[in-house]
Amino acid sequence: MYSDFTAATGITVNRIEGNADELIARMEAEGANSPADVFLTVDTVRLARATEMGLLQPVESDVLETRIPAYLQDDGNHWFAFSQRARILFYDKTDVANPPQTYQDLAKPEYAGQVCIRSATNVYTQNIAAALIAHLGADAVQDWASAVVGNFARSPQGGDTDQLRGIASGECDIAMSNTYYFSRILRQGDSQISPEQLANIGWVFPNQNDIGAHMNVSGGGVAAHAPNRENAIAFLEYLTSDQAQQYFSAGNDEYPAVPGVGLAPSVAALGIFRPDVIDLSEIADNVGAAVEVLNEAGWQ
């Protein structure tokens, strides 16, 4: 993707890769001397944090405005989403005759001791809680989070792939994971999940009759002190091209942010679904409340 951008524009891309929180801290420490032109990361939480810290600048671009749906943009145009993954429910087909159909269903007593999920410190967990707060209110989500904690099969641990491995090993009957982790296993396998175990994992796109399946994103913006601002905008615009959007799907098993771009087979295999199209800025506004709710619920 980077080399194709360079071939098309003559602009060289110099990458500094690392933990998102570390990169945010570095940009803050460097201030106006930062060499950063573009900041790319996963999740609304980190993009919102970078914006709140004054590390990103607003961008006016007809290409970005036209190509990226409004709900996948920051209200102030500080950042834009370029790819998506749905956060959905997976289950053991043998042990779960009636899998949960909504995120709220995870709180039902019938799923006691069956649920595996990531920790409260994980941005994906914070994001889904923030989205539910935006839809249902903090009080309802407080009750939900407390009940889900009561249904844990084990203390929250590991990444999304570990939740899927938990189903395969029999430690969990139900798990929450982003789609691209499962699609990646479909495409290239996993050393800890046999083909037979994989075939026994079913999935549900939640809340198809109301709010839709929650979407996590990868996105980026132009750094506040970008030395090469015009080149940075050109790069973000390139990320909306059909070519780059197809890379996101084929190379990382994600859903493109730009409507109409074809899906990789590993992504299309999960089927068609209704996504939650809530404005991402609204989710970002509720992250603080989500952290409080999760902590109050004892969600480790």
Give 226-261 pLDDT, tens digit per residue. Answer: 999 999 999 999 999 999 999 999 999 999 999 999
> Long-range pairs for 234-238 at CB < 8 Å and ≥24 separation?
234/9, 234/11, 235/5, 235/11, 235/13, 235/37, 235/38, 236/38, 236/59, 236/61, 236/64, 236/80, 236/82, 237/61, 237/63, 237/64, 237/67, 238/5, 238/8, 238/9
CB 274 within 8 A of CB 101: no
pLDDT of residue 52: 94
pLDDT of residue 183: 97
pTM tops 0.75, yes or no: yes
Average pLDDT, stretch 104-112? 98
Distance, in Å, from the CA atom of 235 to the CA atom of 142, rounded to the nearest integer, reads: 41
Cα torsion for 113, 286, 291, 25, to the nearest 10°? 130
Question: Which domains, and CATH codes, for the chain?
Answer: 2-83+213-269 (3.40.190.10), 86-209+284-296 (3.40.190.10)
Count the neighbouring beta carbons within 10 Å of the beta carbon of residue 6: 14
